[in-house]
Amino acid sequence: MLSFFQKLGRSLMLPVAILPAAAIIIGIANTMIAIQEKPNAVSSFIQNAGLSILGLMGVLFAVGTALGMAKKNDGAVALAAVVGFFMVSTILKPVNVALYLGVDVAKVNPGFEKLDNSNVFVGIIVGLIAAYMYNRFSETELPMALSFFSGKRLVPIMTAFASMFLAFILLFVWPVVFSGLVNFGEMILGLGPVGAGLYGFFNRLLIPVGLHHALNSVFWFDVANVNDIVNFQQGKGVEGMTGRYMAGFFPVMMFGMPAAALAMYHTAKTEQKKRVAGLLLAGSVSAFFVGITEPIEFAFMFVAPVLFVIHAILTGLSMFIAASFQWTAGFSFSAGLIDFLLSLLNPMSNQPWMLMMQGIVFFVLYYVIFRAAIQFFDLKTLGREDDMAEHIDEGVAEGEGKYSAMARHIIKGLGGEDNIDTLTNCATRLRLEVKDNSVINVNEIKQAGAAGVIKSGRTQAQIIIGTHVQQVADEVERQLDR
Protein backbone atom coordinates (compact mmCIF):
# COMPACT_ATOMS: atom_id res chain seq x y z
CA MET A 1 0.00 0.00 0.00
CA LEU A 2 2.81 2.40 0.89
CA SER A 3 4.49 1.62 -2.42
CA PHE A 4 1.25 2.42 -4.25
CA PHE A 5 0.91 5.84 -2.65
CA GLN A 6 4.59 6.62 -3.22
CA LYS A 7 4.16 5.82 -6.89
CA LEU A 8 0.98 7.90 -7.01
CA GLY A 9 2.81 10.83 -5.42
CA ARG A 10 5.48 10.63 -8.10
CA SER A 11 2.81 10.51 -10.80
CA LEU A 12 1.17 13.69 -9.55
CA MET A 13 4.41 15.59 -10.15
CA LEU A 14 4.12 15.14 -13.94
CA PRO A 15 1.11 17.46 -14.44
CA VAL A 16 2.48 19.87 -11.83
CA ALA A 17 5.58 20.31 -14.03
CA ILE A 18 3.52 22.23 -16.61
CA LEU A 19 2.37 24.84 -14.11
CA PRO A 20 5.50 27.05 -14.41
CA ALA A 21 4.59 27.63 -18.05
CA ALA A 22 1.15 28.86 -17.00
CA ALA A 23 2.63 31.09 -14.28
CA ILE A 24 5.14 32.72 -16.65
CA ILE A 25 2.51 33.37 -19.33
CA ILE A 26 0.03 34.79 -16.81
CA GLY A 27 2.83 36.85 -15.24
CA ILE A 28 3.60 38.45 -18.63
CA ALA A 29 -0.09 39.27 -19.06
CA ASN A 30 -0.35 40.74 -15.56
CA THR A 31 2.70 42.91 -16.21
CA MET A 32 1.17 44.25 -19.42
CA ILE A 33 -2.12 44.96 -17.65
CA ALA A 34 -0.32 46.76 -14.81
CA ILE A 35 1.63 48.95 -17.26
CA GLN A 36 -1.40 49.76 -19.39
CA GLU A 37 -3.70 49.99 -16.34
CA LYS A 38 -6.31 47.92 -18.17
CA PRO A 39 -6.42 44.77 -20.31
CA ASN A 40 -6.33 45.00 -24.09
CA ALA A 41 -6.53 42.46 -26.89
CA VAL A 42 -2.87 41.41 -26.62
CA SER A 43 -2.75 41.04 -22.82
CA SER A 44 -6.11 39.21 -22.84
CA PHE A 45 -4.81 36.84 -25.53
CA ILE A 46 -1.71 36.03 -23.44
CA GLN A 47 -3.67 35.76 -20.19
CA ASN A 48 -6.18 33.35 -21.71
CA ALA A 49 -3.29 31.23 -22.99
CA GLY A 50 -2.03 30.77 -19.44
CA LEU A 51 -5.50 30.29 -17.95
CA SER A 52 -6.23 27.58 -20.51
CA ILE A 53 -3.56 25.39 -18.89
CA LEU A 54 -5.14 25.83 -15.47
CA GLY A 55 -8.54 25.01 -16.94
CA LEU A 56 -7.27 21.62 -18.08
CA MET A 57 -5.81 20.46 -14.76
CA GLY A 58 -8.19 17.49 -14.55
CA VAL A 59 -7.13 16.22 -17.97
CA LEU A 60 -3.45 16.78 -17.15
CA PHE A 61 -3.78 14.85 -13.89
CA ALA A 62 -5.56 12.01 -15.68
CA VAL A 63 -2.70 11.69 -18.18
CA GLY A 64 0.02 12.19 -15.58
CA THR A 65 -1.45 9.63 -13.19
CA ALA A 66 -1.92 7.11 -15.98
CA LEU A 67 1.64 7.47 -17.27
CA GLY A 68 3.12 7.37 -13.78
CA MET A 69 1.19 4.32 -12.60
CA ALA A 70 1.49 2.28 -15.80
CA LYS A 71 4.33 -0.20 -16.11
CA LYS A 72 5.59 1.69 -19.18
CA ASN A 73 5.37 5.32 -20.30
CA ASP A 74 3.30 4.45 -23.33
CA GLY A 75 1.12 6.73 -25.46
CA ALA A 76 -1.67 4.13 -25.34
CA VAL A 77 -2.24 4.68 -21.64
CA ALA A 78 -2.24 8.46 -22.09
CA LEU A 79 -4.83 8.16 -24.87
CA ALA A 80 -6.92 5.87 -22.67
CA ALA A 81 -6.82 8.42 -19.84
CA VAL A 82 -7.98 11.24 -22.13
CA VAL A 83 -10.81 9.09 -23.49
CA GLY A 84 -11.90 8.05 -20.02
CA PHE A 85 -11.79 11.56 -18.57
CA PHE A 86 -13.85 13.18 -21.31
CA MET A 87 -16.37 10.33 -21.19
CA VAL A 88 -16.98 10.87 -17.47
CA SER A 89 -17.09 14.68 -17.70
CA THR A 90 -19.45 14.58 -20.68
CA ILE A 91 -21.80 11.92 -19.30
CA LEU A 92 -22.13 13.82 -16.03
CA LYS A 93 -22.72 17.32 -17.35
CA PRO A 94 -25.56 18.92 -15.33
CA VAL A 95 -27.83 19.07 -18.38
CA ASN A 96 -27.31 15.33 -18.98
CA VAL A 97 -27.75 14.45 -15.30
CA ALA A 98 -31.06 16.33 -15.34
CA LEU A 99 -32.15 14.17 -18.28
CA TYR A 100 -31.18 10.91 -16.54
CA LEU A 101 -32.94 11.82 -13.31
CA GLY A 102 -35.94 13.44 -14.95
CA VAL A 103 -35.56 16.72 -13.06
CA ASP A 104 -35.01 20.35 -13.94
CA VAL A 105 -31.39 21.42 -14.46
CA ALA A 106 -31.72 23.90 -11.60
CA LYS A 107 -32.40 21.00 -9.22
CA VAL A 108 -29.27 19.04 -10.17
CA ASN A 109 -26.73 18.80 -7.34
CA PRO A 110 -24.21 21.67 -7.76
CA GLY A 111 -21.39 19.17 -7.39
CA PHE A 112 -21.90 18.04 -11.00
CA GLU A 113 -20.92 21.52 -12.19
CA LYS A 114 -17.45 20.75 -10.78
CA LEU A 115 -17.02 17.74 -13.06
CA ASP A 116 -15.39 19.79 -15.79
CA ASN A 117 -11.93 19.73 -17.38
CA SER A 118 -10.34 21.13 -14.20
CA ASN A 119 -11.55 18.40 -11.81
CA VAL A 120 -8.36 16.88 -10.40
CA PHE A 121 -10.15 14.25 -8.27
CA VAL A 122 -11.82 12.61 -11.27
CA GLY A 123 -8.60 13.00 -13.24
CA ILE A 124 -6.68 10.94 -10.69
CA ILE A 125 -9.39 8.23 -10.55
CA VAL A 126 -9.58 7.93 -14.33
CA GLY A 127 -5.77 7.91 -14.54
CA LEU A 128 -5.63 4.99 -12.12
CA ILE A 129 -8.23 3.12 -14.17
CA ALA A 130 -6.32 3.70 -17.41
CA ALA A 131 -3.06 2.54 -15.80
CA TYR A 132 -4.73 -0.62 -14.47
CA MET A 133 -6.18 -1.40 -17.89
CA TYR A 134 -2.77 -0.91 -19.49
CA ASN A 135 -1.00 -3.12 -16.97
CA ARG A 136 -3.71 -5.76 -17.32
CA PHE A 137 -4.51 -5.78 -21.05
CA SER A 138 -1.61 -4.22 -22.99
CA GLU A 139 -0.26 -7.67 -23.88
CA THR A 140 -3.58 -9.50 -24.22
CA GLU A 141 -4.11 -11.53 -27.40
CA LEU A 142 -7.70 -11.73 -28.67
CA PRO A 143 -9.09 -14.41 -31.03
CA MET A 144 -8.10 -14.09 -34.69
CA ALA A 145 -11.34 -12.37 -35.71
CA LEU A 146 -10.71 -9.60 -33.16
CA SER A 147 -6.91 -9.59 -33.31
CA PHE A 148 -6.83 -6.00 -34.60
CA PHE A 149 -7.97 -4.89 -31.14
CA SER A 150 -5.35 -6.92 -29.26
CA GLY A 151 -2.62 -5.51 -27.04
CA LYS A 152 -2.32 -1.76 -26.65
CA ARG A 153 -5.37 -1.07 -28.85
CA LEU A 154 -7.45 -2.86 -26.25
CA VAL A 155 -6.43 -0.46 -23.47
CA PRO A 156 -8.52 2.59 -24.52
CA ILE A 157 -11.49 0.31 -25.25
CA MET A 158 -11.42 -1.28 -21.80
CA THR A 159 -10.85 2.12 -20.21
CA ALA A 160 -13.90 3.48 -22.04
CA PHE A 161 -16.15 0.74 -20.66
CA ALA A 162 -14.71 1.16 -17.18
CA SER A 163 -15.23 4.93 -17.39
CA MET A 164 -18.87 4.41 -18.31
CA PHE A 165 -19.24 2.27 -15.19
CA LEU A 166 -17.40 4.92 -13.14
CA ALA A 167 -19.76 7.62 -14.46
CA PHE A 168 -22.77 5.47 -13.49
CA ILE A 169 -21.42 5.08 -9.96
CA LEU A 170 -20.59 8.78 -9.68
CA LEU A 171 -24.11 9.67 -10.80
CA PHE A 172 -25.30 8.52 -7.38
CA VAL A 173 -22.13 8.73 -5.29
CA TRP A 174 -20.61 12.02 -6.47
CA PRO A 175 -23.00 14.30 -4.54
CA VAL A 176 -21.98 12.54 -1.30
CA VAL A 177 -18.27 12.48 -2.21
CA PHE A 178 -18.34 16.12 -3.28
CA SER A 179 -20.07 17.18 -0.07
CA GLY A 180 -17.51 15.24 1.97
CA LEU A 181 -14.58 16.83 0.15
CA VAL A 182 -16.08 20.29 0.50
CA ASN A 183 -16.72 19.74 4.21
CA PHE A 184 -13.12 18.63 4.68
CA GLY A 185 -11.85 21.67 2.81
CA GLU A 186 -14.13 23.97 4.81
CA MET A 187 -12.93 22.37 8.05
CA ILE A 188 -9.31 23.10 7.17
CA LEU A 189 -10.19 26.59 5.97
CA GLY A 190 -12.17 27.10 9.18
CA LEU A 191 -9.04 26.44 11.22
CA GLY A 192 -7.52 29.52 9.59
CA PRO A 193 -3.80 30.02 10.27
CA VAL A 194 -3.74 26.91 12.49
CA GLY A 195 -4.90 24.81 9.53
CA ALA A 196 -2.13 26.27 7.38
CA GLY A 197 0.39 25.47 10.11
CA LEU A 198 -0.79 21.88 10.46
CA TYR A 199 -0.60 21.44 6.71
CA GLY A 200 2.98 22.75 6.64
CA PHE A 201 3.98 20.44 9.50
CA PHE A 202 2.58 17.28 7.89
CA ASN A 203 3.83 18.32 4.45
CA ARG A 204 7.42 18.03 5.68
CA LEU A 205 6.84 14.90 7.77
CA LEU A 206 5.55 13.02 4.72
CA ILE A 207 8.63 13.73 2.59
CA PRO A 208 10.57 10.61 3.69
CA VAL A 209 7.85 8.33 2.32
CA GLY A 210 7.10 10.51 -0.71
CA LEU A 211 3.44 11.10 0.20
CA HIS A 212 3.64 14.89 0.49
CA HIS A 213 2.62 15.27 -3.16
CA ALA A 214 -0.67 13.52 -2.44
CA LEU A 215 -1.30 15.84 0.53
CA ASN A 216 -0.37 18.87 -1.58
CA SER A 217 -3.01 18.03 -4.19
CA VAL A 218 -5.73 18.42 -1.54
CA PHE A 219 -4.73 22.00 -0.76
CA TRP A 220 -3.26 23.21 -4.03
CA PHE A 221 -5.87 21.90 -6.47
CA ASP A 222 -9.63 21.43 -6.61
CA VAL A 223 -9.78 18.13 -4.75
CA ALA A 224 -11.41 19.46 -1.57
CA ASN A 225 -12.58 22.84 -2.92
CA VAL A 226 -9.43 24.61 -1.64
CA ASN A 227 -7.62 25.01 -5.00
CA ASP A 228 -4.97 27.41 -3.65
CA ILE A 229 -2.50 27.36 -6.57
CA VAL A 230 -5.08 27.60 -9.33
CA ASN A 231 -7.13 30.31 -7.58
CA PHE A 232 -3.97 32.32 -6.92
CA GLN A 233 -2.75 32.08 -10.50
CA GLN A 234 -6.19 32.95 -11.83
CA GLY A 235 -6.41 35.97 -9.53
CA LYS A 236 -9.55 34.63 -7.86
CA GLY A 237 -10.38 34.42 -4.18
CA VAL A 238 -9.79 36.72 -1.24
CA GLU A 239 -6.69 38.91 -0.99
CA GLY A 240 -4.62 37.89 2.02
CA MET A 241 -6.35 34.49 2.17
CA THR A 242 -5.78 32.90 -1.23
CA GLY A 243 -2.19 31.65 -1.22
CA ARG A 244 -1.96 30.91 2.51
CA TYR A 245 -1.12 27.25 1.76
CA MET A 246 1.94 28.38 -0.21
CA ALA A 247 3.22 31.63 1.33
CA GLY A 248 4.87 30.20 4.44
CA PHE A 249 7.08 27.94 2.38
CA PHE A 250 9.08 30.87 0.96
CA PRO A 251 10.88 31.75 4.24
CA VAL A 252 11.70 28.06 4.82
CA MET A 253 12.90 27.12 1.37
CA MET A 254 14.70 30.35 0.45
CA PHE A 255 16.24 31.05 3.87
CA GLY A 256 15.71 28.17 6.30
CA MET A 257 17.28 25.43 4.21
CA PRO A 258 20.43 27.42 3.28
CA ALA A 259 20.79 28.25 6.99
CA ALA A 260 20.53 24.55 7.87
CA ALA A 261 23.19 23.81 5.26
CA LEU A 262 25.45 26.51 6.72
CA ALA A 263 25.00 25.05 10.20
CA MET A 264 25.99 21.60 8.95
CA TYR A 265 29.02 23.04 7.18
CA HIS A 266 30.23 24.94 10.26
CA THR A 267 29.83 21.86 12.49
CA ALA A 268 31.57 19.48 10.05
CA LYS A 269 35.03 18.19 10.87
CA THR A 270 37.75 20.49 9.58
CA GLU A 271 39.20 17.86 7.26
CA GLN A 272 35.74 17.15 5.77
CA LYS A 273 34.53 20.71 5.16
CA LYS A 274 35.93 20.89 1.66
CA ARG A 275 34.18 17.66 0.74
CA VAL A 276 30.74 18.65 2.03
CA ALA A 277 30.90 22.29 0.89
CA GLY A 278 30.07 21.49 -2.73
CA LEU A 279 27.00 19.41 -1.93
CA LEU A 280 25.65 21.87 0.64
CA LEU A 281 26.30 24.88 -1.59
CA ALA A 282 24.58 23.25 -4.55
CA GLY A 283 21.62 22.30 -2.35
CA SER A 284 21.40 25.85 -0.97
CA VAL A 285 21.42 27.44 -4.42
CA SER A 286 18.74 24.98 -5.55
CA ALA A 287 16.58 25.73 -2.49
CA PHE A 288 16.92 29.52 -2.76
CA PHE A 289 16.36 29.95 -6.49
CA VAL A 290 14.11 27.00 -7.39
CA GLY A 291 12.63 25.84 -4.07
CA ILE A 292 14.02 22.30 -4.34
CA THR A 293 14.99 21.38 -0.78
CA GLU A 294 15.30 17.59 -0.82
CA PRO A 295 19.09 17.46 -1.41
CA ILE A 296 19.58 19.31 1.90
CA GLU A 297 16.73 17.60 3.75
CA PHE A 298 18.02 14.14 2.93
CA ALA A 299 21.43 15.12 4.24
CA PHE A 300 19.99 15.04 7.78
CA MET A 301 16.61 13.32 7.47
CA PHE A 302 17.74 9.83 8.43
CA VAL A 303 21.07 10.42 10.17
CA ALA A 304 19.53 13.06 12.47
CA PRO A 305 15.73 12.61 12.59
CA VAL A 306 15.48 15.04 15.49
CA LEU A 307 16.55 17.78 13.07
CA PHE A 308 13.86 16.74 10.64
CA VAL A 309 11.17 16.98 13.32
CA ILE A 310 12.50 20.46 14.19
CA HIS A 311 12.38 21.31 10.48
CA ALA A 312 8.72 20.18 10.27
CA ILE A 313 7.80 22.24 13.35
CA LEU A 314 9.53 25.34 11.98
CA THR A 315 7.77 24.88 8.62
CA GLY A 316 4.41 24.69 10.37
CA LEU A 317 5.32 27.79 12.37
CA SER A 318 6.26 29.68 9.21
CA MET A 319 2.98 28.75 7.54
CA PHE A 320 1.08 29.82 10.67
CA ILE A 321 2.83 33.20 10.91
CA ALA A 322 2.38 34.05 7.22
CA ALA A 323 -1.30 33.08 7.33
CA SER A 324 -1.88 34.99 10.59
CA PHE A 325 -0.54 38.24 9.13
CA GLN A 326 -2.09 37.49 5.72
CA TRP A 327 1.23 37.81 3.93
CA THR A 328 0.70 35.94 0.70
CA ALA A 329 2.70 34.98 -2.35
CA GLY A 330 2.22 31.99 -4.59
CA PHE A 331 4.11 29.60 -6.79
CA SER A 332 3.50 27.31 -9.70
CA PHE A 333 6.29 24.84 -8.93
CA SER A 334 7.95 25.55 -5.59
CA ALA A 335 8.75 28.38 -3.19
CA GLY A 336 12.01 29.69 -4.65
CA LEU A 337 13.13 33.11 -5.81
CA ILE A 338 11.95 32.61 -9.40
CA ASP A 339 8.39 31.85 -8.34
CA PHE A 340 8.48 34.63 -5.74
CA LEU A 341 9.38 37.24 -8.36
CA LEU A 342 6.64 35.96 -10.65
CA SER A 343 4.09 36.15 -7.83
CA LEU A 344 4.86 39.85 -7.32
CA LEU A 345 3.04 40.44 -10.59
CA ASN A 346 -0.06 38.64 -9.34
CA PRO A 347 -2.94 40.73 -7.93
CA MET A 348 -3.51 38.09 -5.23
CA SER A 349 -0.13 38.80 -3.59
CA ASN A 350 -0.53 40.66 -0.30
CA GLN A 351 2.51 42.28 1.35
CA PRO A 352 4.79 39.64 -0.19
CA TRP A 353 7.99 41.45 0.81
CA MET A 354 7.15 40.73 4.45
CA LEU A 355 7.82 37.07 3.64
CA MET A 356 11.41 38.04 2.88
CA MET A 357 11.66 39.79 6.27
CA GLN A 358 10.23 36.68 7.86
CA GLY A 359 12.79 34.68 5.90
CA ILE A 360 15.68 36.58 7.49
CA VAL A 361 14.28 35.75 10.94
CA PHE A 362 13.93 32.11 9.97
CA PHE A 363 17.49 32.04 8.62
CA VAL A 364 18.69 32.95 12.12
CA LEU A 365 16.29 30.46 13.77
CA TYR A 366 17.34 27.57 11.55
CA TYR A 367 21.04 28.30 11.87
CA VAL A 368 21.04 28.71 15.67
CA ILE A 369 18.73 25.77 16.39
CA PHE A 370 20.38 23.38 13.94
CA ARG A 371 23.91 24.24 15.03
CA ALA A 372 23.02 23.93 18.72
CA ALA A 373 21.19 20.60 18.20
CA ILE A 374 24.02 19.12 16.11
CA GLN A 375 26.62 19.99 18.73
CA PHE A 376 24.54 19.18 21.81
CA PHE A 377 23.35 15.77 20.57
CA ASP A 378 26.56 15.08 18.60
CA LEU A 379 24.51 14.34 15.50
CA LYS A 380 26.35 12.66 12.61
CA THR A 381 25.38 15.09 9.88
CA LEU A 382 27.45 15.62 6.73
CA GLY A 383 31.14 15.80 7.53
CA ARG A 384 30.72 14.46 11.09
CA GLU A 385 30.48 10.73 10.31
CA ASP A 386 32.84 8.43 12.19
CA ASP A 387 33.63 6.18 9.23
CA MET A 388 33.73 8.68 6.43
CA ALA A 389 34.68 7.24 3.09
CA GLU A 390 36.26 9.34 0.43
CA HIS A 391 33.90 10.85 -2.11
CA ILE A 392 34.31 9.33 -5.53
CA ASP A 393 36.09 11.76 -7.81
CA GLU A 394 36.50 9.90 -11.05
CA GLY A 395 37.35 11.68 -14.25
CA VAL A 396 35.05 11.39 -17.22
CA ALA A 397 36.45 9.27 -20.00
CA GLU A 398 36.85 10.73 -23.45
CA GLY A 399 33.56 10.80 -25.34
CA GLU A 400 31.49 10.28 -22.21
CA GLY A 401 28.94 12.69 -20.80
CA LYS A 402 29.23 14.70 -17.61
CA TYR A 403 27.24 12.20 -15.54
CA SER A 404 28.86 8.99 -16.79
CA ALA A 405 30.94 8.26 -13.69
CA MET A 406 28.03 9.03 -11.39
CA ALA A 407 25.71 6.73 -13.34
CA ARG A 408 28.24 3.89 -13.33
CA HIS A 409 28.61 3.99 -9.57
CA ILE A 410 24.85 4.23 -9.04
CA ILE A 411 24.32 1.12 -11.16
CA LYS A 412 27.09 -0.65 -9.26
CA GLY A 413 25.62 0.46 -5.92
CA LEU A 414 22.22 -0.86 -6.95
CA GLY A 415 23.69 -4.32 -7.35
CA GLY A 416 24.38 -4.16 -11.07
CA GLU A 417 22.16 -4.18 -14.13
CA ASP A 418 20.66 -7.58 -13.30
CA ASN A 419 19.15 -6.24 -10.08
CA ILE A 420 17.37 -3.28 -11.75
CA ASP A 421 13.85 -3.88 -13.10
CA THR A 422 12.49 -0.39 -13.79
CA LEU A 423 13.77 3.18 -13.50
CA THR A 424 11.77 6.41 -13.44
CA ASN A 425 12.33 9.81 -11.91
CA CYS A 426 10.42 12.75 -10.44
CA ALA A 427 11.66 16.29 -9.81
CA THR A 428 14.57 15.27 -7.56
CA ARG A 429 14.60 11.47 -7.16
CA LEU A 430 15.39 8.34 -9.10
CA ARG A 431 12.63 5.83 -8.35
CA LEU A 432 13.45 2.20 -8.93
CA GLU A 433 12.01 -1.26 -8.74
CA VAL A 434 14.72 -3.81 -8.09
CA LYS A 435 14.78 -7.54 -7.58
CA ASP A 436 16.27 -7.26 -4.09
CA ASN A 437 17.03 -3.98 -2.37
CA SER A 438 18.96 -5.69 0.42
CA VAL A 439 21.99 -5.88 -1.89
CA ILE A 440 22.03 -2.12 -2.49
CA ASN A 441 25.27 -0.48 -1.35
CA VAL A 442 24.09 2.83 0.11
CA ASN A 443 27.62 4.13 0.70
CA GLU A 444 28.59 3.49 -2.93
CA ILE A 445 25.60 5.48 -4.14
CA LYS A 446 26.16 8.34 -1.71
CA GLN A 447 29.82 8.55 -2.61
CA ALA A 448 28.74 8.89 -6.24
CA GLY A 449 27.10 12.20 -5.31
CA ALA A 450 23.57 11.21 -4.23
CA ALA A 451 22.08 12.99 -1.22
CA GLY A 452 20.35 9.92 0.15
CA VAL A 453 18.81 6.50 -0.47
CA ILE A 454 15.40 5.24 0.66
CA LYS A 455 14.36 1.57 0.66
CA SER A 456 10.80 0.32 1.09
CA GLY A 457 9.63 -3.27 1.08
CA ARG A 458 12.02 -5.64 -0.66
CA THR A 459 11.87 -4.26 -4.19
CA GLN A 460 11.47 -0.47 -3.94
CA ALA A 461 14.22 2.15 -3.75
CA GLN A 462 14.57 5.89 -4.23
CA ILE A 463 17.80 7.82 -4.78
CA ILE A 464 17.76 11.54 -3.99
CA ILE A 465 19.78 13.35 -6.65
CA GLY A 466 18.59 16.96 -6.87
CA THR A 467 17.53 19.20 -9.73
CA HIS A 468 19.85 17.45 -12.21
CA VAL A 469 18.02 14.14 -11.70
CA GLN A 470 16.80 14.01 -15.31
CA GLN A 471 20.35 14.08 -16.68
CA VAL A 472 21.40 11.35 -14.25
CA ALA A 473 18.36 9.22 -15.11
CA ASP A 474 19.04 9.57 -18.83
CA GLU A 475 22.67 8.53 -18.36
CA VAL A 476 21.73 5.53 -16.19
CA GLU A 477 19.20 4.42 -18.82
CA ARG A 478 21.77 4.89 -21.57
CA GLN A 479 24.26 2.67 -19.76
CA LEU A 480 21.60 0.06 -18.99
CA ASP A 481 20.66 -0.11 -22.69
CA ARG A 482 24.21 -0.81 -23.88
Catalytic residue numbers read: 426
With a CB cutoff of 8 Å and minimum separation 6, the contacts of 459 are 421, 433, 434, 435, 436, 437
Q: Are strands 429-434 and 420-425 parallel, antiparallel or unpaired?
A: antiparallel
SS (H, E, C) 154-196: HHHHHHHHHHHHHHHHHHHHHHHHHHHHHHHHHHHHHCCHHHH
Closest-CA residue to 358 (of 329, 328, 318): 318
Q: How many CA atoms lie within 13 A of 455 on its CB side?
A: 14
Closest-CA residue to 85 (of 132, 122, 134): 122
β-bridge mates for residue 328, sequence order: 350
Cβ atoms of residues 94 and 112 within 8 Å: yes
By CB atoms closer than 10 A (0-12, 13-18, 19+), residue 37 is exposed
Q: How far apart are CA 477 and CA 461, in angstroms?
A: 16
What are the backbone angles phi and psi of residue 462, rounded to the nearest 5°? -130, 140
Cβ atoms of residues 308 and 232 within 8 Å: no
